[in-house]
Structure 1
Amino acid sequence: MAHTCRGTINLSTAHFDMEDSCGIVLTNGARTYHLKASSEVERQQWITALELAKAKAVRMMSSHSDDSGDDEDGTASPADKSELHDTIRNLSLKLDDLSNCNELVAKHGAALQRSLNELDGLRIPFESSEKLKAVNERATLFRITSNAMINACRDFLALAETHSRKWQRALQYEQEQRVHLEETIEQLAKQHNSLERAFRSAPGRASNPTKSFSEGDLLTTKGEDSEEDEDTEYFDAMEDSTSYITVITEAKEDRKTESGTTGSVEWTSDNVLDGASLVPKGPKVKRRVRIPDKPNYSLNLWSIMKNCIGRELSKIPMPVNFNEPLSMLQRLTEDLEYHHLLDKAVHCTNSVEQMCLVAAFSVSSYSTTVHRIAKPFNPMLGETFELDRLDDMGLRSLCEQVSHHPPSAAHYVFSKHGWSLWQEITISSKFRGKYLSIMPLGAIHLEFQASGNHYVWRKSTSTVHNIIVGKLWIDQTGDIEIVNHRTKDRCQLKFLPYSYFSKEMARKVTGVVSDSQGKAHYVLSGSWDEQMECAKIVQSSPSSPSSDGKQKTVYQTLPAKLLWKKYPLPENAENMYYFSELALTLNEHEEGVAPTDSRLRPDQRLMEKGHWDEANTEKQRLEEKQRVNRRRRLEACARGCGAEEEKEAEVYVPLWFERRLDPLTGETACMYKGGYWEAKEKQDWHMCPNIF
Structure 2
Amino acid sequence: MESSSYAFSNSCSVHLPNYPIPKEFLSPTWTGLDTEKGKSRNSSTFKPVNDSGDEEPTTQSDRSEGIQGTLKTLISKLDDLGTCNDLIAKHGAALQRSLSELEALRVPVEGGEKVKGVNERATLFRITSNAMINACRDFLDLAETHSRRWQRALQYEREQRIHLEETIEQLAKQHNSLERAWREAPTLSANTPSAPTTEKVGSERLQKGEASDEDEDTEYFDAMEDSPAFITVTATENTQHRHSQSNLSGASGGQTNDWNQENVYPSCNDSGKEMQPLRRRRSHIPDKPNYSLNLWSIMKNCIGKELSKIPMPVNFNEPLSMLQRLTEDLEYHELLDKAARCESSLEQLCLVAAFSVSSYSTTVHRTAKPFNPLLGETYELDRLEDFGYRSLCEQVSHHPPAASHHVISQRGWTLWQEITIASKFRGKYLSIMPLGAIHLQFHSSGNHYVWRKVTSTVHNIIVGKLWIDQSGDIEIVNHRTKETCQLKFSPYSYFSREVPRKVTGVVSDSGGQAHYILSGTWDDKIESSKIVQSSKGGSGSEGKQKTVYQTLSPKLLWKKYPLPDNAENMYFFSALALTLNEPEDGVGLTDSRLRPDQRLMEAGKWDEANSEKQRLEEKQRAVRRRREAEATDALDDGREYEGFQPQWFHKRTNAITGETNFVYKGGYWEAKDSQDWSMCTEIF
3-state SS of paired residue (1:592): coil
Partners of 2:169 and 2:61 in 1: CA distance: 22
Match of 1:53 among 140, 149, 158: 149
| In 1, Cα distance between equivalents of 2:350 and 2:441 | 15
Q: How has the CA–CA distance of structure 1 residues 381 and 27 changed in structure 2, closer, same or farther, with 3 Å as cutoff? A: closer
Contact 2:328 2:577 in 1 (8 A): yes
Partner of 1:17: 44
Q: Which of these residues, 228, 238, 244, is aligned with residue 216 of structure 1?
A: 228
Alignment of 1:191 with 2:201, yes or no, is yes
Q: 1:185 to 1:539 in 2, by over 3 A?
A: farther
Aligned to 2:129: none
| 1:407 is the counterpart of 2:401 | yes
Q: 1:55 to 1:627 in 2, by over 3 A?
A: same
Distance 1:532 1:220, change over 3 A: closer
How much has 1:188 moved relative to structure 2? Answer: 7.0
- Distance, in Å, in 2 between the alignment partners of 1:414 and 1:431 is 36
1:23 Cα deviation from its structure 2 partner: 5.0
Task: Rate the CA distance shift 1:476–1:326 in 2: closer, same or farther, 3 A.
Answer: same
Secondary structure of the residue aligned to 2:44 is strand
2:680 to 663, 688, 691: 688
1:49 CA drift (Å): 7.5
Which of 312, 332, 335 is residue 341 of structure 1 equivalent to? Answer: 335
Q: Who is 1:504 aligned against? A: 498
Q: Closer, same or farther in 2 for the Cα pair 1:50/1:629, shift >3 Å?
A: farther
Structure 1 CA distance, aligned partners of 2:285 and 2:256?
45
**Cα distance between partner residues in 2 of 1:630 and 1:468:** 33
Q: Give SS of 1:392's match.
A: helix
Task: Within 5 Å, give how 1:243-262 maps onto structure 2.
Answer: none
CA contact (8 A) 1:425 1:441 kept: yes
1:444 aligns to what? Answer: 438
**Residues in 2 aligned to 1:542 and 1:47: alpha-carbon distance in whole angstroms:** 59
Closer/same/farther in 2, CA of residues 284 and 681 from structure 1, 3 Å limit: closer
Distance 2:398 2:333 in 1: 29
Q: Measured at CA, do residues 523 and 281 of structure 1 come closer, stay the same or move farther in structure 2, by a change above 3 Å?
A: farther
CA shift, 1:56, in A, is: 3.5
Partner residue of 2:245 out of 231, 235, 247: 231
For residue 649 of structure 1, what is the amino acid of its counterpart? E
In structure 2, C-alpha distance between the alignment counterparts of 1:600 and 1:46, rounded to whole Å: 72
For structure 2, the 5+ residue unaligned runs are 1-41, 64-140, 180-196, 206-225, 235-241, 248-253
State TM-score, norm by structure 1.
Answer: 0.65
Residue matched to 1:163: none
- Alignment match of 1:657 (pick from 646, 649, 657): 649
Q: CA deviation at 1:430?
A: 2.4
Of residues 418, 426, 432, the one that matches 1:424 is 418
Question: Aligned partner of 2:151: which letter?
Answer: A
User: How big is the shift at 1:434?
Assistant: 1.1
d(CA) in 1 for partners of 2:61 and 2:442? 50
Cα pair distance change 1:246/1:230, threshold 3 Å:
closer
The equivalent residue for 1:632 is 626
Question: In 2, are the aligned partners of 1:446 and 1:455 still within 8 Å (CA)?
Answer: yes
Any residues of structure 2 matched to 1:285-684 within 5 Å, and which? 285-301=279-295, 317-546=311-540, 548-642=542-636, 649-650=642-643, 652-684=644-676
Tell me how far 1:282 sits from its aligned partner. 2.8
For residue 545 of structure 2, give the secondary structure of its aligned residue in structure 1: coil
Q: Secondary structure at the match of 1:544?
A: strand
State the Cα distance separating 1:549 from its structure 2 match.
Answer: 2.8
- What's the TM-score once normalised by structure 2's chain length? 0.66
Contact between 1:314 and 1:406, CA under 8 Å: does it hold in 2? no
Q: Is the 8 A contact 1:302 1:468 kept in 2?
A: no
Partner of 1:158: none
Deviation of 1:180 (Å): 4.6
Q: Partners of 2:369 and 2:152 in 1: how far apart?
A: 49
Letter in 2 for 1:293: D
Are the counterparts in 1 of residues 403 and 419 from structure 2 also a CA contact under 8 Å? yes
> What's the CA shift for 1:468?
1.2
Q: Kindly indicate whether the alpha-carbon contact (under 8 Å) linking 2:504 and 2:519 is maintained by their aligned counterparts in 1.
A: yes
C-alpha separation between the residues in 1 aligned to 2:347 and 2:590? 40
Question: How far 1:633 moved relative to its partner?
Answer: 1.4
CA shift, 1:649, in A, is: 3.2
Distance 2:541 2:283 in 1: 55
State how far apart, in whole Å, the 1-side matches of 2:204 and 2:360 are. 19
Q: 2:257, 2:555 within 8 Å by CA — same for their partners in 1?
A: no
Q: Distance in 2 between matches of 1:642 and 1:599?
A: 40
Q: Which secondary structure state, in structure 1, belongs to the residue aligned with residue 438 of structure 2?
A: strand
Cα deviation, 1:510-543, whole Å, max 9, x if unaligned, reads 0000011011010000000000000001111110
Q: 1:35-55 deviations in whole A, cap 9, x for unaligned?
A: xxxxxxxxxx99998763341
Letter in 2 for 1:231: Q
Gaps of 5+ in 1: 1-14, 34-44, 76-173, 196-213, 223-227, 234-241, 248-265
**1:445–1:316 distance in 2 versus 1, CA, 3 Å:** farther
Contact 1:479–1:495 (CA<8 Å) still a contact in 2? yes
* Cα offset, 1:545, TM superposition: 2.2
Q: Tell whether the 8 Å contact from 1:314 to 1:405 is kept in structure 2 after alignment.
A: no
1:429, distance to aligned residue in structure 2 (A): 1.7
Give the 5 Å matches for 1:44-83. Answer: 52-56=148-152
* TM-aligned CA deviation for residue 268 of structure 1: 5.8
Shift of 1:218: 4.5
Distance of 1:278 and 1:498 partners within structure 2 = 41
Deviation by residue 1:279-332 (Cα, 9 ceiling, x = unmatched): 954345200000000001111458859999xxx999863110000000000000
Letter of the 1:685 partner, please give it. Answer: W
| Change beyond 3 A, Cα 1:560–1:678 | same
Residue 30 of structure 1 deviates from its aligned partner by: 7.9
Percent of matched pairs sharing the same residue: 63
| Counterpart Cα distance in 2 of 1:438 and 1:480 | 15
Q: 1:220 offset after TM fit, Å?
A: 5.3
SS state at 1:379 partner: coil
User: Secondary structure, in 3 states, of the residue corresponding to 2:607?
Assistant: helix
* 1:17–1:24 Cα contact (<8 Å) kept: no
Contact 2:293 2:315 in 1 (8 A): yes
Instruction: Judge conservation of contact 1:25–1:32 (CA < 8 Å) in 2.
Output: no
TM-fit CA distance, 1:219: 3.9
- Per-residue Cα deviation, 1:205-227 (whole angstroms, up to 9, x for no partner): xxxxxxxxx973554599xxxxx
